[in-house]
Amino acid sequence: MQAAQQGRGSLVLIEGVAGVGKSTLAQACADWARRHGVTTTTGRCYERGVIPPLTPWQEALHLLAQTDGTDLAHLPAPFGNQPPAESVDDLILRIGTHLHEQAAARPIVLLLDDLHWADQESLLLLEFVTRRLERLPLLVLGAYRSDEVAENHPLAATVAALQRDRPSQVIRLSQFTRDDTVRFVESHLGQCEHELVDYLYERAEGHPLFLVELLDDLTEQNLLRRSAGGRWAPPDRNIPVPTLLRQIILQRVTRLGEQSKTLLDLAAVVGEVWPLAVVEAVLDWAEDDLLAVLERLLAARLIEPVDDRGERYRFSHGLIQEVLYGSQLPRRRRRLHARVADQLEAEVKRRASSGALTDDTRDGELAYHCFQAERWLEAFSYSRNAGAAAYRVNALHSVVHYYRQALAAAEHCDHALPAETLLSLYEQLGDAHVLLSQKQDALATYQRMRDVAGSTEDRARVAHALFRLAEVQERAYEHEQSEATRQTALALATEANAPHLMMRYHFSLGHHYLVSGGIDRADHHLRQMEEYA
């Protein structure tokens, strides 16, 4: 922090297993900086629900703007009011440059939490922003679950790249030792008998969140007792106490009453961060009842507000949401997802009828909830729309996600979708893979497109799918296979008597032979192309 205040920024990554205290440590650092007059901002990544690409950066920049009145209007959508950037690279350049300019004006601490859930575009922006750290008063804190970042995880490659040529360090948090447990418990309760420390350490095994939840559970039930010396002592050994973190969380929720559990179960389906308006509309409770339940949950520290108005909330820890979501019967989860989808659809219709602008992010949310509700036709439609919206802002990794989700939904639609619709979607997905240089994924996508076209017995469709496949085979240096695929496509186009396709394929073969050195063949096919043109 001192180095950053002097103009020499750095990147600090905090890693550890879920519940070990990464977010708590990072937030404590940010709070310390704020108390010392340093501007701080936070962006979070989320797992469940549908979050648009670059959401953590949008959160961070909008919070920064609220803090110091920075104008974002000159930035491209979705950060500002200008038209979307022409490409992801252009968007990253403009947003990264804006943040560099802000940091150059005064020291900034930027906290990015739960990076293991970050979208690919957010990771690319992180790489860009940290390139000039050594010349900027900018401290970037990033926290992520190490147990979720396997070798093939996108964040693994990003972390390796960040550590190569940037001022950076990694803090690896481990479980509490017994001495850590003593300090933690006594800071919360006061002086304790060593039997209580042993009791807690044996059960929590040094896991900080487990320890916190266990302490809260014992305190709420008034199970802790005072020894003769006035120190806190463990409960009677005959009193059963949950031995798993999941059991403790569920027991604490159950003890708050049926209404509290109902609200939390629904909120867990909506997402880690949930708008109160959506939960309120689905539950349809009296406002006083809803507010009373919220107050109980806030007092129990199971949830916390996200905004000053108290209209958006999140779970105090992601594990709480995961436990609540996973503990529900699959059929109940599907039903709740369906009810959330119905509410979101109703909101979209209300906005449309009032003439309000549509929100592209709603398609992504509806796609997610309809997919989880197994409403396959709706999931297909919303996923396709969300993919198209992602294309408009050049968020290609999101395009891949949504189009894959749409095609997965289509598999459950029992041939209710026209082949032409599916073929178009496969082609667009393949194009996105090509633009991302994901050649093997593009090959697999166009091969699937060929198979779907083959099921229609339409030679022109098969020829077109083969043509797209051949292009990617060429990019993947499979030259002989590409030539054979092109020849097959040309033969099918000839049989189908499709002059426009034959013109394209003759041109494609001509280009192929020019590149590979077959000048005579290239000349033949290019002349054929001229005839069909």
CATH number at residue 79: 3.40.50.300
Task: From 313, 328, 343, give the residue that closes a domain.
Answer: 328
The crossing angle, in degrees rounded to 10, of helices 519-532 and 499-516 is: 160
Same domain? For 225 and 258 the reply is: no
Model confidence pLDDT, tens digit, residues 13-72? 999 998 999 999 999 999 999 999 999 999 999 875 567 889 999 999 999 999 888 889
Same domain? For 189 and 308 the reply is: no
Of the listed ranges 244-253, 272-281, 287-296, the one predicted with least confidence? 244-253
Task: From 121, 143, 172, give the residue that closes a domain.
Answer: 172
Same domain? For 36 and 68 the reply is: yes
Same domain? For 167 and 202 the reply is: no
Q: Provide the number of structural domains found in the chain.
A: 4
Same domain? For 166 and 198 the reply is: no
Q: What is the pLDDT, as a whole number, of residue 104? A: 93
Cβ contact 233:196 at 8 Å: yes
Q: What is the pLDDT, as a whole number, of residue 506? A: 79
Same domain? For 29 and 135 the reply is: yes
CATH code, domain with 300:
1.10.10.10
In degrees to the nearest 10, what's the CA dihedral of 427, 429, 431, 437?
A: -140
Q: What is the mean pLDDT of residues 378-400?
A: 92
Say if 337 falls within a structural domain. no
Three-state secondary structure readout of 90-101: HHHHHHHHHHHH
15: left (phi over 0), alpha (psi -120 to 50) or beta: beta
Q: What is the pLDDT, as a whole number, of residue 504? A: 77
The secondary element (H helix, E strand) that includes residue 225 is strand 225-226
Same domain? For 476 and 374 the reply is: yes
Confidence of residue 340 (pLDDT cuts 50, 70, 90): very high
Q: What is the mean pLDDT of residues 363-374?
A: 95
Question: Both ends of the chain: CA-CA distance in Å?
Answer: 66
Model confidence pLDDT, tens digit, residues 404-448? 999 999 999 988 899 999 999 999 999 999 999 999 999 999 999
Full domain range(s) for residue 236: 178-241
Say if 341 falls within a structural domain. no
| Look-up of token digits 């949830």 | 303
Same domain? For 497 and 382 the reply is: yes
Say if 338 falls within a structural domain. no
Confidence of residue 241 (pLDDT cuts 50, 70, 90): low
Say if 358 falls within a structural domain. yes
Model confidence pLDDT, tens digit, residues 185-221? 999 999 999 999 998 998 888 999 999 998 988 888 8
Same domain? For 396 and 454 the reply is: yes
What is the β-pairing status of strands 138-145 and 10-16? parallel
Query: Token digits for 358?
Result: 């549509």
Measured on CA atoms in the order 113, 116, 121, 126, is the torsion positive or negative?
positive
Say if 314 falls within a structural domain. yes
Same domain? For 183 and 156 the reply is: no
Same domain? For 322 and 363 the reply is: no
CB neighbourhood size of 416 (10 A)? 10
Q: Which of 156, 128, 152, 119 is nearest to 399 (CA)?
A: 119
Q: What is the pLDDT, as a whole number, of residue 360? A: 66
Strand-pairing partners, residue 256, are none
Of the listed ranges 238-247, 273-282, 314-323, the one predicted with least confidence? 238-247
Cα Rg of the chain (Å, integer): 28
Higher pLDDT, 498 or 35: 35
Q: In whole angstroms, give the CA distance from residue 524 to residue 533.
A: 14
Task: From 207, 241, 275, give the residue that closes a domain.
Answer: 241
The secondary element (H helix, E strand) that includes residue 527 is helix 519-532
Q: What is the pLDDT, as a whole number, of residue 49? A: 52
What is the layout of strands, in order, in the sheet containing 168-172?
Answer: 39-44, 108-113, 138-145, 10-16, 168-172
Q: In whole angstroms, give the CA distance from residue 202 to residue 196.
A: 10
Is 257's pLDDT higher than 90?
yes
Is 358's pLDDT higher than 80?
no
Say if 305 falls within a structural domain. yes
- List Cα–Cα distances, 183 to 188, 216, 505, in angstroms: 9, 16, 74
Q: What is the pLDDT, as a whole number, of residue 245? A: 84
Is 238's pLDDT higher than 70?
no
Say if 343 falls within a structural domain. no
Q: In whole angstroms, give the CA distance from residue 338 to residue 117.
A: 24
Same domain? For 436 and 519 the reply is: yes
| Look-up of token digits 């006061």 | 190
Say if 347 falls within a structural domain. no
Q: What is the pLDDT, as a whole number, of residue 56? A: 95
CATH code, domain with 491:
1.25.40.10
Cβ contact 339:355 at 8 Å: no
